[in-house]
Chains A and B, each alone.
Chain A
């Protein structure tokens, strides 16, 4: 965290540069130079390598309490998810099954993403109300519930970029599409060999919403 003196110096420098040396290189001269303080307030993202992680720390033991208070009403005491709210814990070994369970433990490739997401948008409807330490505690609790760190491991800005997530290598790049057979713009037009037997009807599944009858 910078002290106020430095902010003022930065701001003055920014103003100085905006009206002097840089002005020639701007094509339109529209907009204003952002101060470091303005950027610091909005620049909340964290990258997988930990870049952007704010100073703070927390472990799972202290995280349990914060989690119970701020998260459990939707996600359940053990991250199991209540009603249709997402489950956060478990799912290990299910990704190739008929019913994959994608949780922070089984699917998410980076611990930084959990911190970034929890801080920026959780609790649902109370975005950016958690402190940095509270966020580290919650993330530590989730990682511990997923057997990724011990309960007394102190998660912090120093080590969040080094946590090895189980599904870290579960993602494929680059996009291989188009991945279907290349028909070069000339698909079959007549007497094509394609199955035309009806094997399923949405009507029989019967989950389509119906308009209220007047």
Chain B
């Protein structure tokens, strides 16, 4: 692979041959030079100035720079039996601002990505309604629309860290979250079309993928802010995010945001599906399990420095991070450099939206000493992000789900960063 420097030529021919991003990423990895090429530095004229670049017909759908080929979703092979019923993780450590690019939003499937031709798409609404109805995608787009940023977090985000620090990366310990702007129709508007019986108290949302994903949602939440979405960040949903339609359940665990949504049934009791009984229930140390723990409590993470982003030189750096809460807006984020003994309040960057990722930064100076970095979110309900010890004391270590505790990144004297557990 690319031992010589005929980089540009081989790169171009790859693009022209129409090879997909995967192959391109792989080959460009080896093109990535560690050291700068002096020929491209002042006072010399760089090679990209001396030649023409690609024309406007080369990339009808633009892709990231090939030098960003390490910014990808990653999975943990040993976690699951098959990749079709598995998860990968958003590379939070490489992202800025609050918007997650569509191609980097983590995926969680239970039967692989369903591929649906939109002309074959139908949404059925049945059960305790005045009129059982069927809508096409075009029908749905005729309703009044909303455009809203929301985070989506898997309830199992950080689930591998209950007993101790296990995965050495920001991506693997916090990456089951993404934040995009959804376009869709409010379910409360759709209900006006079907009518609702007085005894309709619960909704069953059902996917049309091979797992037929189903979750029960109380009617109050459905009427409050749930959306039937067809677009994310301005373009159609990606197939892996539920194309052509997914359910948006703001602030609540990602498992409820049914993708490839085919049916909404209204009933008078919860349905007790596999996902809300055998999974997504929080086992406590006495063997009892909490059920219907829907909301995602406030959480934050320092996305840089982190295990993937070591501190490369002494002096001033910017701590960057993300905070979010399923109960509303983030009010404040504090950062500690000494493992939680002393805290300083970080700067929040606008927009600060409810149930959305919020960006924070704070400068810090590194002089080659050890540091224990932590961040702590406070939301507008005055809820304070807890330590893992506080959660363990109440819930034990077998919950899997809803670990929203403070993480610790150790900066070592050599600048490397580790996921560590304090005690």
A: which residues have CB within 8 A of B? Answer: 17-18, 22, 25-28, 30-34, 38-39, 42-45, 47-49, 74, 83-86, 95-96, 100, 102, 104, 107-110, 112-113, 116-117, 120-121, 124-125, 127-128, 170-192, 194-203, 205, 207-209, 211, 214
Contact among B110, B142, B273 with A30 in the assembled complex (CB-CB below 8 Å) = B142
Residues of A close to B189: CB separation below 8 A: 27-28
| Cα A177 to Cα B290 with chains together (Å) | 10
Mark out the residues of chain B between 277 and 326 whose CB falls within 8 Å of any chain A CB in the assembled complex: 277-278, 281, 283-295, 297, 307
When distances are taken between beta carbons in the complex, the residues of chain B under 8 Å from A100 are 283, 287, 398
Do B111 and A198 touch across chains, with their CB atoms under 8 A apart? no
B124 touches A199 (CB 8 A): no
Per the bound structure, the CA–CA distance linking A113 and B272 in Å amounts to: 7
Task: Give the A-binding residues of B (Cβ under 8 A).
Answer: 1, 29-30, 32, 70, 74-78, 80-82, 84-85, 110-111, 124-127, 130-136, 139, 142-143, 164-169, 172, 189, 192-193, 195, 204, 206, 210-212, 214, 262-263, 265, 267, 269, 271-274, 277-278, 281, 283-295, 297, 307, 331-332, 334, 338-343, 372, 376, 378, 382-384, 386-387, 389-391, 394-395, 398, 402, 410, 418-423
A120 lies within 8 A of B378 (CB): no
- Find B278's partner among A107, A120, A128 (CB 8 Å cutoff): A107
For the residues of A in contact with B, the DSSP-based class is loop
- Least Cβ–Cβ distance between B13 and chain A, in angstroms: 19
* Pick from B111, B214, B341: contact of A194, CB under 8 Å: B341
**B342 lies within 8 A of A110 (CB):** no
CB–CB B295/A175 < 8 A: yes
Decide if A199 touches B421 in the complex (CB within 8 Å). yes
With beta carbons under 8 angstroms apart, the residue of B80, B135, B192, B278 that contacts A113 is: B278
Pick from A28, A127, A211: contact of B212, CB under 8 Å: A127
**Contact between B164 and A45, CB atoms less than 8 A apart:** no
- CB atoms of A183 and B384 under 8 A apart: yes
Partner of A39, one of B132, B287, B386: B132
Chain A residue nearest to B397 (CB atoms) is A98
Could you pull out 23 A-B pairs where Cβ atoms are within 8 angstroms?
A27-B193, A32-B135, A39-B124, A42-B262, A47-B272, A107-B289, A112-B272, A113-B277, A116-B214, A116-B273, A125-B210, A171-B290, A180-B394, A182-B382, A183-B384, A185-B384, A187-B343, A197-B423, A198-B421, A200-B420, A208-B168, A211-B74, A214-B29
